[in-house]
């Protein structure tokens, strides 16, 4: 199949459509505005429904309702918008309804700024919702990978009957890249939903009994049993959904850990360091939850330092420390506020950190 040149946000919308998404709910927020714009004119052509909600709270709740009735729902937003969606995401986890959410993140806290950021790491991996719930989170490094992950996320969400979150950043939403789009999956016709999703609310006609979707369980033992059931699913997700890539770990003195846009910068920094005679490698977590702890067991004997590189004040670094278990010192190279460092800055700071541990 041939490649087409697409802006990230357009490609993300198209990926959802091709995955068979039949309902999108959104509210404008930069830097993901091209997604609702794209969905508004393309999703109806594909036989789906686009609805601009009055807020992010409304968008996630509409998606909850549409997915509860068997729709293949997709929502997208950017950092402060995701904060507003947290309540809904928790409800959807408890109600066991599949949903795909995309965060094209920007700088924070608060309204922050519109330039790229990764300071939602804790928000997406720990959740801002209440209660014991987990959401699988995937962080693509480029547009093609994001397209492929969105396409697959709908299947994962259906399998686990849980939201799945894609964590891209503003740079990926706004940049252009040639992409190969996946095959279009057909939208499931209404009369087929109860067969594929027997739990869905599709009307009394097809059911001997009645489906009820809810997140309220007043009896403590019933609620505990429900949460334990959710955690059986999460345990399976932890076994099945770990994704990562590594580069040059065997003989690396420095191991960068980076996801998303930062991983591309690290790839360039690794080349520059090599020119200066310093071997560096990289662990690139693709799944942020479950975090790829086992990747750290592949680190070779020459490594003196593991460096978390982040577009935040250092949030993934806690997961890295848990994975490293004191085997290597852990450093941090970061910028925040929407600033993306140059690969040269990463090189200089990495050399300084390396000096410190030698």
Partner 1 sequence: MQYGPRKIAVTGHFGSGKTEFAVSLAFALARLGAAEERLALCDLDIENPYFRSREQGAALEEAGIRCYSDPFGGRNGSELQTISAAVRAPLEDEGCRVIVDCGGDNSGAMVLRQFQKYFTLGEYQLLCVVNQNRPGTDTPEKAVAHLRAIEQASGLEVTGLVSNSHLIRYTTAETVTEGWEFAKQVETLSGVPALCACCMESIAPQLKNADFDVFPIGMYMRDTYLDKQV
What residue ranges bind partner 1 (CB under 8 A)? 3-7, 10, 30-31, 113-115, 141-142, 170-171, 174-178, 245, 247, 263-268, 282, 284, 338, 342-343
Please say which residue, 100 or 262, places its beta carbon nearer to partner 1. Answer: 262
Q: Give the bridge partners for 180, in sequence order.
A: none
* Cα(130)–Cα(357) distance, integer angstroms: 40
Nearer to partner 1, 155 or 268 (CB): 268
Question: Taking the complex as a whole, how short is the minimal distance between the CB of residue 170 and partner 1, in angstroms?
Answer: 7
- Please, what is the minimum distance in Å from the beta carbon of residue 104 to partner 1? 11
Q: Specify the residue, 157 or 299, whose C-beta has the smaller distance to partner 1.
A: 299
Between 80 and 128, CB nearer to partner 1: 80
Exposure string of 282-296, with b = 16+ CB inside 10 Å and e = fewer, is: bbbbbbbbbbbbebb
Q: Which of 308, 321, 288, 318 is closest to 353 using CA atoms?
A: 308
| Shorter beta-carbon distance to partner 1: residue 217 or 245 | 245
Neighbours of 50 (CB within 10 A): 18
* Spatial separation of the C-alpha atoms in residues 331 and 263, rounded to whole Å: 16
Start-to-end CA span in the chain (Å): 50
Q: Which one, 116 or 290, has the nearer CB to partner 1?
A: 116
The backbone torsions φ and ψ at residue 211, rounded to the nearest 5 degrees and listed phi first, read -90, 135
Q: How far is CA 284 from CA 157, 190, 270, 275, in A?
A: 23, 40, 13, 22
Strand order in 99-105's β-sheet?
Answer: 49-52, 23-26, 73-77, 99-105, 163-169, 137-138, 287-289
Minimum CB–partner distance for residue 112 and partner 1 (Å): 11
CA distance 312 to 290: 20
Structure tokens at 32: 């993901």
Residue among 176 and 222 whose Cβ is closer to partner 1: 176
The CB-of-247 to partner 1 minimum distance in angstroms stands at 7
Burial of 214 (0-12, 13-18, 19+ CB in 10 A): exposed
3-state secondary structure 38-87: HHHHHCHHHCCEEEECCCHHHHHHHHHHHHHCCCCEEEEECHHHHHHHHH
CB 158 to partner 1: min, Å: 28
Nearest residue (CB) to partner 1, 111 versus 196: 111
């Amino acid at each position: 199949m041939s490649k087409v040149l697409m802006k990230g946000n357009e490609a993300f919308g198209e990926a959802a459509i091709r995955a068979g998404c039949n309902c999108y709910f959104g509210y404008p927020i930069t830097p993901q505005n091209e997604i609702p714009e794209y969905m508004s004119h393309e999703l109806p052509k594909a036989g789906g429904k686009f609805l601009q909600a009055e807020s992010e709270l409304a968008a996630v709740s509409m998606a909850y309702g549409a997915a509860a009735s068997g729709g293949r729902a997709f929502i997208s937003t950017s950092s402060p918008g995701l904060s507003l969606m947290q309540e809904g995401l928790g409800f959807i986890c408890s109600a066991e309804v599949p949903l795909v959410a995309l965060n094209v993140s920007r700088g924070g806290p608060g309204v922050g700024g519109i330039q790229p950021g990764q300071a939602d790491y804790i928000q997406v991996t720990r959740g801002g919702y209440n209660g014991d719930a987990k959401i699988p989170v995937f962080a693509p490094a480029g547009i093609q990978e994001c397209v492929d992950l969105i396409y697959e996320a709908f299947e994962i969400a259906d399998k686990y009957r849980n939201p799945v979150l894609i964590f891209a950043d503003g740079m990926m939403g706004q940049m252009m890249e040639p992409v190969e789009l996946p095959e279009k999956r057909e939208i499931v016709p209404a009369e087929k939903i109860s067969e594929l999703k027997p739990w869905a609310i599709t009307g009394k006609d097809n059911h001997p009994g009645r489906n009820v979707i809810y997140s309220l369980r007043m009896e403590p033992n019933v609620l505990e049993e429900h949460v334990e059931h959710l955690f059986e699913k999460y345990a399976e997700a932890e076994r099945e959904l770990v994704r990562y890539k590594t580069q040059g770990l065997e003989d690396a003195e420095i191991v960068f850990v980076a996801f998303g846009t930062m991983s591309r910068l690290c790839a360039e920094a690794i080349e520059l360091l090599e020119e200066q005679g310093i071997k560096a490698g990289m662990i690139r977590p693709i799944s942020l939850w479950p975090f790829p702890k086992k990747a750290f067991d592949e680190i070779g004997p020459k490594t003196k330092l593991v460096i978390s590189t982040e577009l935040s004040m250092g949030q993934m670094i806690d997961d890295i420390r848990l994975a490293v278990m004191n085997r290597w010192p852990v450093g941090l190279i970061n910028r925040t506020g929407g600033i993306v460092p140059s690969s040269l800055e990463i090189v200089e700071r990495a050399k300084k950190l390396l000096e410190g541990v030698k």
